[in-house]
């Protein structure tokens, strides 16, 4: 950052207007409740993998039929998610998430008392109906409450709840089933869902429903250029995982394998947790396309190594590597779709991504059952590896497209471009650094693992290109049927308002807006707690939505994504 001598005015320290950045980071107290929700549905969806041998023995049926419970669960989720999204489009998001968790708990309870296989199928259908939207809603709440530069990491943190379910929930359910039967294990999973609903009520922010979107519009978004290729690559990657994971207990239960099944399930879950968090950071560093490409090829290599790694250490290690690579695809897929989505279409594409993941799991477990019956468990990993390579090939052919301009990324500093200093506007510019080009081809297994394992769960972001937004005094109004571009505008905000989540903004030029967004909720809470004044001069980064799209006003509103408070 530099200021030329010609641009630098003379001032005394007493004359300088201080600029204090008040960011809206993803608060731990909010994210942990959302992560617990995804943990509950992750355990509900994948518990069958650990319970498969015990359920087959108690119900006197074959392993393939029990494995098809995963197929039924995934296919119901894939089909019902877009339909339920339309039916619940006007629901407040936190309320919707709580209802989803309650339905999931009821489904697990029905499965726990089911006397026959058909009754068990009915319980799994109910569980799937509750779980179908849970992950998408939880990730959407996290994304809306997070500044753009940290959004991929916040979504990965919530998705990490799924991997915690794999790491703790699924092996825990398997251990309970071993000692007390699978019915008690399913009751325990239902209790986790109820606890997650309570946690969401206590910690998650309220979020107004987005504008209603028809089913035709949801499907139409997927037909945009570049979207189908990305969804297809993610679908094939999850078909690959679905071929093996539901039958992992059978794969590692052979005479050549040592150690309990729960050890391998825990190893997969640990790898999945590292892959999800590390995948989010890797996306922020090199981009979603190379991350997704490298993850699928790494998964293929690990799957091919599984049959030769039956030792007490090598077996769990290879399964952990496979889990890390398989789950690194999820944050990469979500981030890629978020980048190429049209204005206002990110939520629709994220919901379609959830459907693609569930559909991939369902088709994979169905294919895995056929392979298991015809060729035995030894062929499962080979088929899955071939599908992972096919996913990488499709991803390699998918060209990155962007329907929305990239949002400015950078860190808060002591000075900002357009900073006001005793009535003078001094332009402070930062020297531009050349952006490192992202790799477009194979990133080797070693480099992926090294970066993933070193990423961890810390908060230090990778190197970002520095840029500063230009602060405007007014907002150009787009046509009524169009969303406006992202803009940073100076003005005055009154944080109290007559409607929840809606406050008044007057720009420096005298324009008046109803202001909404996650940043509004955060600042209203600080005002209520006495930590900041009710009326403040601010700069706000956000956009003007389509006419009538805001819950605050029938006219035009302004959606705040990040707030910087000026204290002068």
Strand partners, 543: 559
Residue 441 lies in a domain: no
User: Whole-angstrom Cα distance, residue 355 to residue 206?
Assistant: 24
Clarify whether residues 492 and 362 are in a common domain: no
- What is the torsion angle, in degrees rounded to the nearest 10, for the CA atoms of residue 374, residue 392, residue 282 and residue 155? -60
d(CA 163, CA 337): 21
Whether residue 229 sits in one domain with residue 89: yes
For residues 498 and 351, membership in a common domain is answered with no
Q: What is the pLDDT of residues 337-385, one digit of tens each?
A: 777 766 556 666 776 777 788 788 888 888 988 888 888 888 888 999 9
For position 383, what pLDDT does the model report? Answer: 92
* Bridge partners, residue 487, by sequence: 542
SS3 236: helix
Position 102 pLDDT exceeds 90: yes
User: Considering the domain boundaries, does residue 117 fall inside one?
Assistant: yes
Cα dihedral 53, 55, 60, 62 sign: negative
Say which residue, 192 or 26, is predicted with more confidence.
192
Contact 558, 542 (CB under 8 A): yes
pTM to 2 decimals? 0.56
- Ranking 21-30, 31-40, 429-438 by mean pLDDT, the lowest is 429-438
CB 108 within 8 A of CB 196: no
Residue 428 covered by a domain:
no
Q: What is the largest CA-CA distance in the chain?
A: 86
The answer to whether residues 177 and 316 belong to one domain is yes
Considering the domain architecture, whether residues 393 and 533 belong to the same structural domain is answered as no
Q: How far apart are CA 409 and CA 275, in angstroms?
A: 24
State the CATH number of the domain containing residue 77: 1.20.1250.20
Name the domain boundary from 355, 372, 397.
Answer: 397
The CATH number covering residue 497 comes to 2.40.50.140
Q: How many contiguous H segments (helices) and E segments (strands) does the chain have?
A: 18, 9
Question: Is it the case that residue 105 has pLDDT exceeding 90?
Answer: yes
pLDDT in tens, 210-239: 666 666 666 666 666 677 778 888 888 889
If you average pLDDT over residues 181-189, what whole number do you get? 91
If one compares 118 and 308, the residue with the highest pLDDT of the two is 118
Q: Residues of the chain with pLDDT > 90: what percent?
A: 10
- 236 by Cβ neighbours in 10 Å (0-12 / 13-18 / 19+) ranks as buried
Could you tell me if 52 and 169 lie in one domain? yes
pLDDT digit string, tens, across residues 56-96: 888 887 777 887 888 888 888 888 877 887 788 778 888 89
Q: Of 459-463, 502-506, 544-548, give the range with the top mean pLDDT.
A: 502-506
Has residue 284 been placed in a domain? yes
Domain containing residue 512: 471-567
Residue 240 in domain: yes
87, part of any domain: yes
378, 397, 416 — which closes off a domain?
A: 397
Q: Are 469 and 390 in contact (CB under 8 A)?
A: no
DSSP tag of 169: I
Burial of 500 (0-12, 13-18, 19+ CB in 10 A): middle
The 10s digit of each residue's pLDDT in 249-287 is 777 766 555 566 778 888 888 888 888 778 878 887 888
Q: Specify the 3-state DSSP secondary structure of 428.
A: coil
Question: Is 293 inside any structural domain?
Answer: yes
Whether 170 shows a pLDDT value over 50: the answer reads yes
pLDDT tens digits for range 442-485: 333 333 333 333 333 333 333 333 334 577 777 888 877 777 78
Q: Which residue has the higher pLDDT, 434 or 175?
A: 175
Q: Are residues 269 and 358 in the same domain?
A: yes
What average pLDDT score do residues 532-539 get?
78
Half-sphere exposure of 386 (CA within 13 A, CB side): 8
Give residue 434's pLDDT: 40
Is the same domain home to 111 and 194?
A: yes
Same domain, 217 and 338: yes
Q: Note whether 380 and 484 are same-domain residues.
A: no
Residue 387: predicted pLDDT: 92
Let me know whether 490 and 370 are in one domain.
Answer: no
* pLDDT, tens only, 283-338: 878 888 888 888 889 999 989 888 777 777 888 888 899 988 888 888 888 777 77
Query: Is the residue at 545 inside a domain?
Result: yes
**Total domains, the chain:** 2
My answer on whether 255 and 346 are in the same domain is yes
> What pLDDT is stored for residue 413 in this prediction?
38
Of 352, 380, 397, the one marking the end of a domain is 397
Give the confidence band of 417 by pLDDT, cuts at 50, 70, 90: very low
């Amino acid at each position: 950052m530099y200021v030329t001598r010609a641009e630098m005015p003379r001032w005394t320290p007493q004359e300088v207007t201080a600029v204090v950045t008040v960011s809206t980071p993803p608060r731990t107290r909010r994210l942990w409740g959302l992560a617990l929700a995804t943990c509950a549905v992750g355990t509900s969806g994948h518990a069958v993998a650990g319970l498969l041998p015990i359920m087959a023995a108690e119900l006197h049926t074959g392993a393939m039929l029990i494995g098809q419970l995963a197929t039924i669960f995934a296919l119901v989720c894939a089909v019902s998610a877009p339909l339920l999204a339309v039916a619940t489009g006007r629901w407040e998001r936190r309320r919707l998430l709580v209802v989803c968790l309650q339905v999931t708990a009821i489904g697990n309870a029905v499965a726990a008392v089911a006397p026959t296989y058909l009754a068990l199928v009915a319980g799994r259908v109910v569980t799937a109906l509750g779980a179908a939207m849970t992950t998408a809603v939880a990730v959407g709440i996290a994304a809306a409450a997070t500044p753009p530069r940290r959004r991929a990491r916040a979504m990965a943190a919530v998705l990490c709840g799924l991997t915690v379910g794999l790491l703790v929930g699924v092996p825990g359910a398997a251990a309970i089933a071993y000692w007390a039967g699978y019915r008690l294990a399913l009751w325990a999973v239902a209790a986790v869902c109820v606890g997650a609903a309570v946690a969401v009520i206590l910690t998650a922010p309220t979020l107004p429903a987005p504008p209603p979107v028809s089913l035709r519009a949801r499907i139409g978004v997927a037909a945009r250029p570049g979207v189908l290729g990305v969804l297809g690559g993610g679908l094939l990657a999850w078909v690959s995982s679905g071929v093996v994971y539901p039958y992992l207990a059978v794969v590692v239960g052979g005479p050549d394998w040592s150690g309990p099944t729960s050890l391998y399930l825990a190893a997969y879950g640990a790898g999945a947790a590292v892959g999800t968090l590390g995948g989010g950071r890797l996306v922020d560093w090199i981009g979603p396309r190379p991350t997704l490409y490298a993850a699928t090829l790494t998964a293929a290599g690990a799957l091919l190594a599984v049959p030769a790694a039956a030792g007490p250490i090598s077996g769990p290690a290879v399964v952990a590597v496979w889990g890390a690579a398989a789950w690194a695809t999820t944050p990469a897929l979500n981030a890629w779709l978020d980048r190429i989505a049209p204005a206002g279409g990110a939520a629709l594409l994220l919901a379609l991504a959830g459907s693609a993941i569930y559909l991939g799991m369902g088709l994979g477990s169905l294919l895995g059952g056929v392979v298991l019956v015809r060729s035995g468990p030894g062929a499962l990993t080979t088929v899955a590896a071939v599908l992972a390579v096919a996913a990488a090939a499709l991803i390699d052919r998918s060209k990155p497209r962007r329907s929305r301009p990239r949002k400015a990324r950078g860190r808060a500093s002591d000075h900002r471009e357009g900073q006001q200093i005793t009535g003078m506007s001094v332009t402070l510019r930062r020297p531009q650094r050349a952006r490192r080009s992202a790799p477009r081809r194979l990133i080797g297994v070693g480099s992926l693992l090294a970066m993933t394992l070193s990423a961890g769960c810390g908060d230090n972001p990778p190197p970002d290109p520095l840029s500063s937004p230009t602060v405007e005094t007014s907002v150009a109004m787009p046509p009524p049927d169009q969303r406006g571009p992202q803009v940073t505008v100076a003005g005055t905000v009154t944080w109290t308002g007559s409607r929840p989540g809606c406050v008044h903004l007057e720009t420096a030029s005298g324009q008046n807006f109803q202001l909404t967004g996650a940043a509004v909720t955060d600042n209203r809470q600080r005002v209520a707690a006495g930590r900041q004044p009710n009326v403040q001069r601010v700069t706000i980064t956000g956009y003007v939505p389509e006419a009538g799209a805001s819950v605050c006003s029938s006219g035009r509103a302004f959606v705040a994504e990040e707030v910087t408070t000026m204290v002068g």
